[in-house]
Amino acid sequence: MRTFWMLLLAFCLVAPVMASAGELTSAYTKLKVADCAKGESNDDEAWATWTCTGYKGMSIYFAHADLREYVGYGPNAKQTCSAHTTFQRFNAAGTTIEWRLKAGRPVATILRFRVEGDGNKEQFLMVTKLDGDQSCPLGYVDARMKNHNQAARNIADEHHQSFSCERDVPIVVSKKYAAPTEFATAERCAPPG
Tell me the whole-structure pTM to 2 decimals. 0.86
Strand partners, 113: 93, 124
Please choose, from the candidates 190, 155, 160, the residue with its C-alpha nearest in 3D space to the C-alpha of residue 172: 155
How high does pLDDT run on average in the chain?
88
- Give the CA distances from residue 159 to residues 36, 70, 165, 170, in Å, rounded to whole numbers and listed in that order: 30, 22, 11, 10
Alpha-carbon distance of 125 to 151, in angstroms, equals 9
User: 103-112 pLDDT, tens per residue?
Assistant: 999 999 999 9
Q: What angle do CA 160, 163, 166 make, to 5 degrees?
A: 130
The pLDDT of residue 192 is 54
Alpha-carbon distance of 181 to 3, in angstroms, equals 62
The pLDDT of residue 71 is 98
Helix ranges (H only) for the chain are 2-20, 148-159
Helix, strand, coil share of the chain (percent; to 5): 25, 45, 35
Of 2-11, 142-151, 172-181, highest mean pLDDT: 142-151
Give 177 or 7, the one with higher predicted confidence: 177
pLDDT at residue 22 above 90?
no
Strands 105-117 and 91-102: antiparallel
Residue 167: Cβ-neighbour burial (10 angstroms; 0-12, 13-18, 19+): exposed
pLDDT at residue 4 above 60?
no
The pLDDT of residue 185 is 86
The pLDDT of residue 8 is 35
153-173: average pLDDT: 96
User: 67-120 pLDDT, tens per residue?
Assistant: 999 999 999 999 999 999 999 999 999 999 999 999 999 999 999 999 997 677
The pLDDT of residue 13 is 39
The confidence band for 191, taking pLDDT boundaries of 50, 70 and 90, is low
Please choose, from the candidates 52, 13, 190, 27, the residue with its C-alpha nearest in 3D space to the C-alpha of residue 103: 27
